[in-house]
A and B are shown apart, each in its own frame.
Chain A
């Protein structure tokens, strides 16, 4: 009977739809589960000490039960900040070149190459850092009369900057190319040069989107672990210059997974470290995403 068969497929359709809806919501809620899991695991240390002491004290003596995260937060800020200073100008210049100036052939040849950079695993970047960047920084420090082993903020920042090139460039090129051609034509027909048009029309129009791209790069750099762990030096003291070693938050977590179960509260402190990291990265990501959505609406 044909009626029964269609009945069956309708029922299948309904059941399948429900199952898929559940799966979709489950995968969407993973991020919530991560935050909740980390929070529950960091409750013991939050109960024993105030959040203020944990965040702003710089005495890190797990054996005595003192967990001040300040040196690690400062380490992360130094490394990420220096990396952004290096990466942002280079990325913007390259992105503007690729989007506005480069001939089509160059653009289509270079963009996949830059995307290739995004695929290289972070340990490989770290290895490159050890083999090339660290000795180079050690040499460079002599010109500045600074003493360093090469395993320092600057090395980590250089490696990180290279890692976020593709993130920022890819997005910025896309945002610049989304600016309607009519704007450029209007400006050029008024007698403005190509650069004047880019500077005063295109960049102004694309500014929020570019900002979002930079913030996404920042979030990526802040959470990056392995490459930084391999070249930053890992000394638990707030750095005072780019030649000092740093111990960023992700490196701390990665380095101490072995002994964290053997010291009381240590594992809880590590999970709090993860929670802080997650919080900072998520705030950046969500802000960037909101700005981007607004910018896209404005461009349409």
Chain B
């Protein structure tokens, strides 16, 4: 009698199919989300008001522009500032590295809103001195103050990302390049940075998204970004849809950015896939 004879020919019992508890619960939750989405569409459709849209719609568009340019400008300035800070963090000079560490610790350890207040309201206390230096025109404007505070803040975060990415490249890469007779700057540009870019992409993308979301707080210091326009519209109309439209626009920006970053990451890591 062979082993095969002892095995029944019966098929295995059907898996516990049908409506398990998990399935019912999951469908109920998806149904709730569906209801919430339908409710949102219904609310926006029934409270649609062409007059309001014509009056405040263009404001939203300009607010969107303000938000995006604030984020773009601060990200670029922050990226430039982050290079010396990251250099300081990695330097062997204790004074330099301590200074850079203190900078990063301060800007990462305190709320962005408090930093913005410190710049916008706090520096106003030094108006005579700033006027003497000819800098008052800059710190008088909420817009410039916002860019100033946001750039300093994101520089701290970006410096840490840059440092992490550069340190993630193995030492052997430096040594190998040096043994080929490359100059330090050449090594950085041709060997280290291309490899660090892959590591840094995701944190940079996250920082970009965090900046888009964080930029909403400039509305508190009277900058009319997307959030500022929304608060202005709400204070005029007391119409809750003003907040809902802002939510939809922010979600669309963030989702677009997230998918764009994922696409870029797939492109950059093509050669690593098999």
A binds B: no
B interface with A by C-beta (< 8 Å): none
A interface with B by C-beta (< 8 Å): none
